[in-house]
Amino acid sequence: MLRQTKIVATLGPSSSDPITLRAMLTAGVDVVRINFSHADASASQLISLVREIAEELQLPVAVMADLQGPKIRIGRFENKSITLVEGQDFTLDCNAAELLGNHTEVSVAYPNLSAELTPGDHLLLNDGLVELEVKEIVGSKIHCRVIEGGILSDLKGLNRKGGGLAARTMTEKDKRDLRTAIEAEVDYISLSFVKDAEDIRHTRALMSEFGKKIPIIAKIERTEALDYLTEIILESDAIMVARGDLGVEIGAAEVPAIQKHIIGEARRLDKVVITATQMMESMINNPQPTRAEVSDVANAILDGTDAVMLSAETASGQFPVKVLTMVNKICLSAEKHASFYYDSNDETCHYQRADQAIAMATMHAANHFPIRAIITLTESGDTALWISRQQSRVPIIAVSANKRTIGRLCLAHNVFPVFMNYYSFNSETLNQQVLTELIRLGHLETKGFVLLTRGRIIGTAGGTNSMEIIQV
């Protein structure tokens, strides 16, 4: 059985050597994530290595560059970390970048923080494990009382409970990293801490200055983003439910319902969606997951997510290959039992383009006739993406002569991209030549019916206008 759900794996110290990378790609990674919170221009070498191994294994693998974004972080401590105790006073200084913190104070790398807070606000640090209440603000100094103590170490993140801090995306570091990612020709740019659609438009404008257009994944991890969810989805190419910082801002108890809402809205608007953060957290140190983690991954699939993402589990965990093998098993089991369908509505039933209408007609035919595979010859990947929005067990084999399209489709649910330079094929026998090549490559069996979509003029994006049922 082919796995429909895609797996995104973050690369890091545990997964950057050629042997481990080869094992991970063989185990089923569809997209590798480069986390630029912990990377710089040297990431280009790692991206080249991934592509070299993928080429050797003849596997389609996409590369996602995840920009750090304007995450507000505290500074460093004299002794790397401190322990805060409930009830003690603690000060955050927004104008002391060189300050080495101690048990009474630490710097914050966001000069406007003091202007955006008021006494009574609650601040959450280290993914919500430490909580402070703002008591008084004097100039750049925010005097707090510890509500929930704990260990606090260098460069931990800071959020306001309930969200609302006004930091925008695209820091100077992000701009440098964006250039690095573009030069490395990544397949996706993941944008952190998106507030509204303007953040995405601003990033596209920066890409244009660099002369490139790369699909953007908008990470939903701020409270404010939920108020602008529809416009963010419409403006982006894909969505990530980034449950870490989102859970800190809205509270962990709210995350499951919000996750379902985001996934449902993304699917309604025909956009790819990823579910991320702590999916198999215990496997950072243990060779087996908890049953709760297995249920978490399975429920994301039953919600309709296109992909699940692993972070520290593969970046710094002890069992990067084992965790992938386990997630693969969970995906296959959940898909076998999945029975979710999405209601049609006016937005998804009335089409302005012939290729979109062909895509929907294709899936209707595939679900009501014994079709073994849907083969779509695609330039841009749009037809394959639209077909993938409908629930079906029929695999979608997306054949493209465009390597950028192959990378884009690695993230789409139930789409299996195959690179094939069919421009040289005879136009009169093109369909048969494509089928013959797919059989030779092992992607297609030599019996049964397949459904093939293509455009009349090969090589023209947006030109899909025909659908044919072929007996192999």
d(CA 307, CA 297): 10
Cα–Cα distance measured from residue 323 to residue 378, given in angstroms and rounded to the nearest whole number: 33
Q: Are 74 and 109 in contact (CB under 8 A)?
A: yes
Residue with tokens 């970048």: 97
Return the bridge partners of 274, or none: 240, 307
Is 456 in the active site? no
Decide if 219 is catalytic. Answer: yes
What distance in Å separates the CA atoms of residue 240 and residue 262, rounded to the nearest whole number? 9
Q: Which among 452, 456, 455 has a CA at the least distance from the CA of 471?
A: 452
CA of 357: how far to CAs of 333, 382, 463, in Å? Answer: 32, 12, 12
Of 5, 6, 33, 180, which is the active-site residue? Answer: 33
33 is catalytic: yes
Residue whose structure tokens are 């044919």: 468
Compute φ and ψ for 126, nearest 5 degrees: 55, 55
* The pairing of beta strand 371-377 with beta strand 396-400: parallel
Task: Return phi, psi of residue 14, to 5°.
Answer: -85, -10
End-to-end CA distance of the chain: 20
Strands 141-148 and 6-10: unpaired
Instruction: Determine the Cα–Cα distance for residues 93 and 97; give it in Å rounded to an integer.
Output: 8
- Look up 73 and say whether it is catalytic: yes
- Report yes or no: 268 and 346 within 8 Å, Cβ to Cβ: no
Is residue 227 within 8 Å of 168, Cβ to Cβ? no
Of the candidates 147, 245, 151, the one whose C-alpha atom is nearest the C-alpha of residue 195 is 245
Given the residues 71, 73, 243, 408, the one annotated as active site: 73
Contact at 8 Å (CB) between 431 and 439?
A: no
Rounded to an integer, what is the distance from CA 100 to the centroid of its chain?
Answer: 35
Exposure class string for 173-195: b at 16+ Cβ within 10 A, else e:
ebeebbbbbbebebbbbbbbbbb
Beta strand 89-93 with 141-148: parallel, antiparallel or unpaired?
A: antiparallel
Strand positions, DSSP E, 164-210: 188-191
How many angstroms separate the CA atoms of 193 and 188, rounded? 16
Point out the catalytic residue in the list 71, 160, 219, 454.
219
**What is the distance between the alpha carbons of residues 186 and 214, in angstroms, rounded to a whole number?**
8
Active-site residue (options: 275, 277, 378, 383): 277
Residues 444 and 397 sit within 8 Å (Cβ to Cβ):
yes
Q: Which residues are catalytic?
A: 33, 73, 219, 277
